[in-house]
Amino acid sequence: MGHQTDLEQSVMRTILWFSLFSYPLTAFELWKWLLKPQRPYDLIEVYSILEKSDWLKQMLETSEGFYALKGKQINEMVRDRQMRFLDAERKYKMLRRIAKFFYLLPSVRAVGVVNTMAWWSTTSQSDIDLYVVTKPGSIWSSRFWLVLPFFLTGQRPMHHQQLRQGKDPFCFSFFSTTEHLQMEHLCFPRDYYMAFWVKSLVPILDRDGNFSVFHQENRWATRLLPNAHPRTHHRSHVPWTMPSLFFPGTFFESFFRTLQQKRLPLQLRTLANIDSRVIVTDEVLKFHENDRRLQFRDAFESLLERYL
């Protein structure tokens, strides 16, 4: 470990985690996403350690207010982040228009943006990943009616065996009911990615304050990220409210379940409910056959051994 302070080590852990994604950070972002410190630190403490720590100056480089691991071509990383930010902003504007449709479905209670969209770090081919919260007893019917228009208009991600993918595909691969908002039971051991996933979620629709409950249910993530306060609704992301329509749902739930289960790709059916990569129940639908959380964890811990 050397003689570095806890804050120095926490800053370095944060830099190392984001280096996996070639994502440089500002001083404010280093403070917000400070990973696994012994206590919450003030923003001024982070600014001070970046200015005064000779060890961090040896390990990091800075450009245009961003920090990254030395030797990682920070100027190129900053330019790439700026371009990805612009693409994500374009996607958010499109999502705001399209998300009006979500209000038409009364069983859809909340929708949040996750993964690369939540970090404003997308390309034109990146999925628009959404986490959807539904009424209990309506998860399958909600998914059917929510996905159908995007399937018909070619705005769904193609299966990995297919060669071409449309621009800005909408990915509805994670659903849960309002009674199953706790995510810790889905975590692998030392699941850093899931903690960042929880804390970075961007609310798009929330009819009943479900995301407040979501963050209360997932207080475990604060142990790793004590400064990362939940994101709130931003007016530029929230669609105009539309009146809900009647869609046949709960009464035909078993029909929608059978229909969609038969259409699941073989890979998903094979992985279903073995672990938390793919979950197929009436309370949680999670279709992440290419779940890389363990890869990220192992790569990160390898970096920790090398640098700390």
Instruction: For the chain, give the number of residues.
Output: 308
What pLDDT, on a 0 to 100 scale, did the predictor assign at position 72? 85
Angle CA(42)–CA(54)–CA(229) in degrees, nearest 5?
A: 20
What pLDDT, on a 0 to 100 scale, did the predictor assign at position 234? 66
What pLDDT, on a 0 to 100 scale, did the predictor assign at position 164? 46
Dist CA 202 CA 204 (whole Å) = 6
Domain boundaries, the chain: 6-72, 90-291
Give the residue carrying structure tokens 């903690």: 195
What pLDDT, on a 0 to 100 scale, did the predictor assign at position 243? 59
Task: Indicate the pTM of the whole model.
Answer: 0.92
pLDDT in tens, the chain (308 residues): 458 999 999 999 999 999 999 999 999 999 999 999 999 999 999 999 999 999 999 999 999 999 999 988 999 999 999 999 999 999 999 999 898 899 899 999 999 999 999 999 999 889 999 999 999 999 999 999 999 999 888 887 754 434 345 578 999 999 999 999 999 999 999 999 999 999 999 999 999 999 999 999 999 999 999 999 998 776 666 655 655 665 555 668 999 999 999 999 999 999 999 999 999 999 999 999 999 999 999 999 999 999 99
What pLDDT, on a 0 to 100 scale, did the predictor assign at position 244? 62
Angstrom CA distances, 52 to 38, 55, 58, 302, stand at: 20, 9, 11, 27
Residues in contact with 77: Cβ distance below 8 Å, sequence separation at least 6, in sequence order: 22, 23, 24, 66, 68
What pLDDT, on a 0 to 100 scale, did the predictor assign at position 250? 63
Dist CA 201 CA 112 (whole Å) = 6
What pLDDT, on a 0 to 100 scale, did the predictor assign at position 160? 40
Residues in contact with 176: Cβ distance below 8 Å, sequence separation at least 6, in sequence order: 131, 132, 133, 134, 139, 283, 284, 285
Please, how many CA atoms are within 13 Å of residue 278, restricted to the half-sphere of its CB? Answer: 15
Residues in contact with 236: Cβ distance below 8 Å, sequence separation at least 6, in sequence order: 92, 96
